[in-house]
Structure 1
Amino acid sequence: MSYLAAAPMLCTRNLARCAYPGLTSYSLDAVLTHTQLPVPDGRHRALPDALATAALLKRLLTDGAARHRWPRLSQLHQMAGGPAPATTHRVALF
């Protein structure tokens, strides 16, 4: 039997709400514009959206940490909409 560690999920929309309170919209385009990250050509296609979301996550982590929104990883996870991560997650693969 093999095991795969399950990583906790982070919601960029929830993180954006914490990092940039008061925006009128938290759509990907709105938050990219707010952070002055480029809205990619081919928006609404898988790869451009994934790359834009990754760039946004990097900015959110930097900006949120600088503003002391989440000084600990467990707080970051809670801000992103999930419970504090357990010490170990394992998923059995058959």
Structure 2
Amino acid sequence: ASDKSNSIKLNFSKNNIDITANTPEVGEAKETLPVQYKGREFSIAFNPEFLMAPLRALGEDEIFLDLIDEMSPGVLKIQTPFLYVLMPMRISS
């Protein structure tokens, strides 16, 4: 994702996720949240509309995001039968 596009970038590290939102009209916003994550450190970006659509509809306290790598689709899950496939965006390092 270029700096001029709308994107949500997720940076995963041990037990943390850094979320960076970019929009040409407003600028950049960053937030760090604790998560249960023990994999390798990596970054992945998504179109914010595609990421927020299921989150708005679900209203769950706990969400699971299964990721393989930076270029593979992510799968959003909750405890009840629900599955949402999320395609990543290319990001520049």
What is the TM-score when the length of structure 1 is the normalising length? 0.24
What is the TM-score when the length of structure 2 is the normalising length? 0.24
Specify which structure has the higher proportion of strand.
2
Indicate the structure whose relative CO is greater, using CA pairs within 8 Å and at least 6 residues apart: 1
